[in-house]
Homo-oligomer: A and B are copies of this chain.
Amino acid sequence: MPSTPATLALHPDRLLPVDPTVRSIARRLYEAVRELPIISPHGHVDPRILLDDVPFADPAQLFVSPDHYVTRLLHASGVPLEALGVGQGLLSEPAAREAWRLLCSHWSAYRGTPVRYWLESELVDIFGVSVRPSAATADAIYDQIAGRLTQSDYRPRALFDRFKISVLATTDDPCDDLSVHAALVADPTWTGRVVPTFRPDRYLEPFAAGWIEAVQRLGEVSGIDTGSYTGWVSAMEDRRRYFISHGATATDHSHADAGTAPLESEEAERIYRSALAGTVTSDEATALRRHMVLEMARMSTEDGLTMAMHIGVRRGHHGPTSARFGADTGHDLPLRGDFTDPLRPLLERFGTHPRLKLVLFSLDETAFSRDIAPLAGFYPSVYVGAPWWFFDAPDGVRRWRTAVTETVGFSRTSGFIDDTRAFCSIPARHDMSRRLDSGHLAQLVAEHRLDEDDATEAAIDLVSGRPQEVFQL
């Protein structure tokens, strides 16, 4: 440790290409998009923070405990999750301070990661921090942030305005009454736009724990008997209508694979009832889920909700950690992802339907060039989802853009998706995407593959036109 701590600052050219020719083009492209409003079509921010507008608690509970992007590398570095406040509800001031210290003293573990990039952006841009986090600087930074958090400028609504978010989509359970969303809309002092997203995963996994209770509750909430598969379908349709009436424009689906396959009605009904009786096998449950996903696409052709699929996750890889700390604790891990054959039944039926919009996200980057881009390069319903999770990072984005552009150009991509539960990271994430797309386009210009006026138009379209069209926002 030096006696004077290292400074923390954001270089205006960060993430832009290094070559002077390319960088100067990239700067111009970036200038054309840097101040455009943020459209956030998919994320995990709790809308209640905007309704209640109470100050964030402290740096640890803002940046550390709830964010598995952050906690997983600390855990890998030997820090127990309990020391970070994971899954413990509200932290005491000493516990919060200690969690924050653990993050700062492991700052070197995040070298080269987007987590560090985002955190640095937030610390500097939002909270005015000017020293690099470390064991030595942890407390001073904690105090500085904590001080800001008590100011009205740092309450959620003020930040929402400061971030220039034009629309923010949340992720919601089909049984949610969306009262928070409704209250926001009804609040005359609130001028932002927050829309729900229909996320029915757990109702489509008949083998998973809690499914029986989930569909039972679905029946209660919808007032439709879910004791049969046809009832389940009607209840789902009902809840989608409810979501639409509250502003939803999209559904979101995340399963281990992208399989879709029709069942005969009788077979669907039989498996469904078997699942309700607790006698379903794993294979039957998978078959029913693949049929249900197909059904969801059919519903989208009718009610027009954009259908996003986030495919290929082994959730809760480490059982003991799940048991102790719950879901989303850093060990949801990528699986191989295939789309071409698994989606064929869906696409043969609905792939050219004028109302379907299907956005495909993968944690297996081999699917970008092999499956997703070629599908989106033919089917008018298919869009290439932005880099997701582990790939939402400078080099990940570059690989993704390079993998898909030559097959589908830019117009069949989704626009940036932050997919975050870390509210304060939203501007840094969107800004990162704008910088990287500017760099990618500048490279095409510098190689004389695209004229600069054309590249500027593309850059703007990626920030504004794409998410508006794809997610109907």
- In the bound complex, residues from chain B placing their C-beta under 8 Å from that of A371 are 333-334
Complex CA–CA separation, A22 to B364 (angstroms): 31
Q: Which of B73, B108, B321, B443 contacts A457 (CB 8 A)?
A: B108
Assess whether B112 is in contact with A405, with CB atoms less than 8 Å apart. yes
CB distance from A414 to the nearest CB of B (A): 14
Complex CA–CA separation, A391 to B407 (angstroms): 8
- In the bound complex, residues from chain B placing their C-beta under 8 Å from that of A352 are 318, 320-321
A454 within 8 A of B: yes
Q: For chain A, which range describes its interface: under 10, 10 to 19, 20 to 34, or 35 or more residues?
A: 35 or more
User: In the complex, which residues 361-399 of chain A have their Cβ closer than 8 Å to any Cβ of chain B?
Assistant: 363-366, 369-371, 373-380, 382, 390-391, 393-396, 399
Complex CA–CA separation, A243 to B22 (angstroms): 51
User: In the complex, which residues 57-82 of chain A have their Cβ closer than 8 Å to any Cβ of chain B?
Assistant: 72-73, 75-78
Assess whether A448 is in contact with B390, with CB atoms less than 8 Å apart. no
CB distance from A74 to the nearest CB of B (A): 10
- In the bound complex, residues from chain B placing their C-beta under 8 Å from that of A382 are 76
With contacts A447-B16, A449-B112 known, is A365 near B369, CB below 8 A? Answer: yes
Assess whether A380 is in contact with B112, with CB atoms less than 8 Å apart. no
Assess whether B14 is in contact with A22, with CB atoms less than 8 Å apart. no
- In the bound complex, residues from chain B placing their C-beta under 8 Å from that of A321 are 352
Of the candidates A21, A370, A391, A412, the one having the most CB atoms from chain B within 10 angstroms of its own CB is A370
CB distance from A34 to the nearest CB of B (A): 16
Assess whether B111 is in contact with A458, with CB atoms less than 8 Å apart. yes
Segment at the B interface, from A175-183, A194-202, A281-289, A343-351: A343-351
CB distance from A209 to the nearest CB of B (A): 17
A147 within 8 A of B: no
Assess whether B333 is in contact with A340, with CB atoms less than 8 Å apart. yes
Complex CA–CA separation, A331 to B375 (angstroms): 8
A278 within 8 A of B: no
Assess whether A446 is in contact with B409, with CB atoms less than 8 Å apart. no
Assess whether B334 is in contact with A449, with CB atoms less than 8 Å apart. no
Complex CA–CA separation, A470 to B461 (angstroms): 45
Complex CA–CA separation, A370 to B388 (angstroms): 12
8 more CB-based (< 8 A) A-B contacts, given A18-B443, A76-B376, A111-B409: A75-B380, A111-B410, A335-B341, A366-B366, A373-B390, A394-B449, A395-B406, A399-B402
- Pull 14 A–B residue pairs with CB atoms less than 8 Å apart, ordered by A: A10-B448, A14-B448, A15-B447, A15-B449, A18-B21, A19-B19, A109-B409, A112-B449, A317-B348, A319-B348, A333-B375, A335-B340, A390-B407, A394-B449
